[in-house]
Amino acid sequence: MKLVVVGFGQCGGRVADEFARLNKKAKSARGIEIVTGCYAVNADAADLSGLTSIRKDYQHRILIGSRKTGGHGVGKINELGAEIAREDGDKVIDAIRTTKRFFETDAFLFIASSAGGTGSGAISVVTQHIKERYADKPIYNLIVLPFEHEETTEDRTVYNTATCLKSCYSVADAVFLVDNQRFVRKDSSIKGNISKINAMIAEPFYNMLCAGEEKKAKYIATKVLDAGDIIQTLIGWTIIGYGKSEIPLIRFRRESKRDFRAKGDETLKAVQAMDEAISELSLKCNPVDSKRALYLISAPGKEMNMDMVKALGDYMKDIAPEALIRNGDYPRERGMLDVTVIMSELSDVEKVRNYYSQSTQLIPKFKKRQEETEVKLRAIEDASKDIPSLLS
């Protein structure tokens, strides 16, 4: 599956940068292209300068709203982010049109943090503009939810998240939800944490995108998970997970492969990888609520068998009994067995409901604060009315 990836705001740009890195990895290691174009859109010039893998020209690092922000961002006011996206959205469209192999692209992936200003405000506006122009290509939003400490200390974070989620859900074909808090490592530095989190957000997409683009016959799957399967799976609220088990590179003798313990270990490793993928889903949810799901198993071809596929299929059916499940295999990895899981068309997402509920309670508070501020300012003005001014 080939994507055009666009990151909005600081967080979105950095995650998009990880997708650009994955594309370079796919090209060098596998001779596959999975990202036809990768772009970063921001109102802050400094944030654009901090990227490493996205090309440095102005058509790939797109500065918007410079007339209103002076290239210094919107200060977490996502209404302003949406406004400048409406005014400068054509810059993004023009950049995408220059993508050399654009019409080979299967879908768009737009990425942003829900808590910020530029990304939170711009992603839904640009999604709407692109959807009106390219109605035949699905557009997916990947929304990174805030850390727990941001939610508890900044009311604006919750409000931005709620408005971003509502807007994106109304225009995107599917919305991937990623909870920052599930990936945080409290003993790591801030920079190390963010870099690791960004890599972990992008990593589960790697084999899933590569599987359908494979060209070498020995790596073609028995059951290919192609763009059509992915597109038919992704609808509405969506989460993704990834797990892996190591496989020793030193091969046992042929006789040992017939041993009941060795046979059981093969299936056990696959189930362990599936366990990790489910426990590390990008957002805590109840898999029972998903109506569509897929899983991809990737391992050396000799390590995959029908018992393994059946065990994983039974596992998925147990946890998501109402879901239409698609699956595939990808005989590519070396010394590793990994499983990618997607749960989509979720009928209930508790965290999203909580954001909506909290935001509804915050709106009257914001209005009350504004009114109180205006009253105090008027009181100061009234107190100073008899004092002469030095200005003519």
For residue 10, pLDDT beyond 90: yes
Pair (248, 191) in one structural domain: no
The predicted model gives 376-388 an average pLDDT of 84
- The domain boundary, picked from 346, 370, 386, lies at 346
In this prediction, residue 267 has a pLDDT band, given cuts at 50, 70 and 90, of confident
User: What integer best gives the mean pLDDT of the chain?
Assistant: 88
Residues 189, 319, single domain; the answer is no
Residue 51 reports pLDDT greater than 70: yes
Cα atoms found within 13 Å of the Cα of residue 16, Cβ hemisphere only: 36
Residue 383 maps to a domain: no
Nearest Cα residue to 34 out of 138, 104, 139, 137: 104
Task: Categorize the per-residue pLDDT at 254 as very low, low, confident or very high, splitting at 50, 70 and 90.
Answer: very low
> Is residue 360, in this structure, part of any structural domain at all?
no
For residue 115, tell me if it sits in a domain. yes
> Does 135 lie in the same domain as 24?
yes
- pLDDT recorded at residue 263: 56
**In Å, what is the CA distance from 100 to each residue of 10, 56, 96, 219, 376?**
26, 17, 9, 27, 58
Same domain? 265 vs 147: no
Q: What angle do CA 225, 172, 15 make, to 5 degrees?
A: 70
- On whether both 80 and 186 belong to a single domain, the answer is yes
Whole-number pLDDT of residue 73:
80
Span 106-121, pLDDT tens digits: 999 999 999 989 999 9
Residue 253 pLDDT: 41
Residues 140 and 186 in one domain: yes
Residue 279 lies in a domain: yes
Residues 111 and 193 in one domain: yes
CATH number for the domain spanning 50: value is 3.40.50.1440
210-219 core/surface letters (b: 16 or more CB in 10 A; e: else)? bbbbbeeeee
Place of tokens 């409290």: 186
Report how many domains make up the chain: 2
Range of the domain at 63: 3-202
SS (H, E, C) 157-206: HHHHHHHHHHHHHHHCCEEEEEEHHHCCCCCCCHHHHHHHHHHHHHCCHH
Q: 87-96, 240-249, 262-271: which range is least confident on average? A: 262-271
**Can you say whether residue 139 is alpha, beta or left, with left for phi > 0 and alpha for psi between -120 and 50 degrees?**
beta
Residues 151-180 pLDDT 10s: 888 888 999 999 999 999 999 999 999 998
pLDDT in the model for residue 141: 97
Q: For residue range 209-233, what is the model confidence (pLDDT) as tens digits?
A: 999 999 888 888 888 899 999 999 9
More confident residue, 189 or 382: 382
Check which CATH number belongs to the domain holding 320 and give it: 3.30.1330.20
pTM: 0.90
What average pLDDT score do residues 362-374 get? 81
354 located within any domain: no
Regarding whether 86 and 169 lie in a shared domain, the answer is yes
44 & 172 share domain: yes
Give the pLDDT confidence of 55-73 residue by residue, as tens digits: 999 999 999 988 888 778 8
Percent over 70 (pLDDT), the chain = 93
Q: What angle do CA 189, 8, 360 make, to 5 degrees?
A: 90
Residue 371 has pLDDT above 90, yes or no: no
**Cα dihedral sign, 379-385-390-392:** positive
Query: Are 137 and 278 within one domain?
Result: no
pLDDT, tens only, 273-287:
999 999 989 999 899
| Closest by Cα among 9, 13, 334, 3 to 201 | 13
Pairing of strands 3-8, 107-113: parallel
* Nearest CA among 14, 236, 234, 239 for reference residue 119: 14
* Whole-angstrom distance, CA of residue 91 vs CA of residue 115: 24
Q: Is residue 245 part of a domain?
A: yes
Using one digit for the tens of pLDDT, what is the confidence trace for 295-315?
999 988 888 888 888 899 999
Of 184, 202, 220, the residue at which a domain comes to its end is: 202
Instruction: Tally Cβ neighbours within 10 Å of residue 377.
Output: 10
In a domain? residue 374: no
d(CA 151, CA 285) in angstroms, rounded, equals 19
Residues 149 and 243 in one domain: no
Pairing verdict, β 139-145 and 290-298: unpaired
Same domain, 29 and 117: yes
